[in-house]
A and B are shown apart, each in its own frame.
Chain A
Amino acid sequence: MKKVKLAIIIIYIIFFVLISALTIFFIVKTVKKGSDLYFEQKQPASFELPFKEQDIDNLIDLLRKLKLL
């Protein structure tokens, strides 16, 4: 009977260790993947104006010279 009790205790310990390992493994895996996904660096969408102020001055001057304005 002592051997049976010992076997059951060992099985309980293995059970506990396996459950803990599985839990820790999934927590670590989820947190790692989640943080990678959440903090994924994406190229921020930016918009540059097609003209600078000087270009507009030049364009207006040109239109005036060509009598289009």
Chain B
Amino acid sequence: MNYSTALKNIRTKVILFSLGFILLIGVYFFLLNFYSKKILSQIQEINSLKEKINQVQAALQKENQLQKLKILIEQKAGKDLPAILFDIQQKLDRDFEKTKNLISEKIQKENWQVIKTSFNQEEKKLNFVFKIPDSDFSKFSDFIIEEGLIWQTTDLKIDKNNDFWQIELNLKTK
């Protein structure tokens, strides 16, 4: 083996060695990158779990606060919440017939003088014009407020004629 052949062999070995070296570095770089991304994705997974736990805790806190609010309302009102809502609904959602009967019965019971009544069942509108004695005015106002008719009233005209109040009551029902 002469000198040039030996040099050629050494050069080939060095080139092969360098190539192997570059390949190893490349593989190592790939592995490091792969595991780095894997670790980061697992941290993100932990974060999303933490986020979910926070959301559940917030929902529990919200539920707890609303429960406290419900208990507080029930304590102050002295009734269950469904009963409170039922009472309010009863007064606000009175239908056409019930409203008509309620007012007619009251007028009849108190002997108030009816001047005019008109009902429009299609539009669910009621109109009562009647006269009440001066002394009955508080009865009328109590009746309107206690029965919740104030919520159904669309127009109310009151005129005083001597010792009488002439009242025109317009209502809209459900």
Contact = CB atoms under 8 A, between A and B. Distances in A.
B partners with A: yes
Interface of A: 4, 7-8, 11, 15, 18-19, 22-23, 26, 29-30, 33-34, 37-38, 40, 42, 44-47, 49-51, 53, 56-57, 59-60, 63, 66-69
Contacts of A67: 91, 145-148
Contacts of B87: 68-69
Interface of A is mostly: helix
Contact of A22 (B28, B69, B79, B147): B28
A55 to B, nearest CB: 10
Contacts of A37: 40, 43-44, 47
B72 A56 contact: yes
A8 to B, nearest CB: 8
B154 interface: no
Interface stretch (B53-61, B105-113, B115-123, B129-137): B53-61
A53 to B, nearest CB: 7
Interface stretch (B31-39, B94-102, B161-169): B31-39
A40 B47 contact: yes
Chain B, interface size category, equals 35 or more
Contacts of A59: 73
Interface string B138-163: 00000001111010000000000000
Interface of B: 10, 14, 17-18, 21, 24-25, 28-29, 32-33, 35-36, 39-40, 43-44, 46-47, 51, 54-55, 57-58, 61-62, 65-66, 68-69, 72-73, 76-77, 79, 84, 87-88, 91-92, 145-148, 150
A30 B40 contact: yes
Contacts of A34: 39-40, 43
A4 to B, nearest CB: 6
A35 B62 CA distance: 31
A66 B145 contact: yes
Contacts of A40: 47
Contacts of B69: 49-51, 56
B65 to A, nearest CB: 5
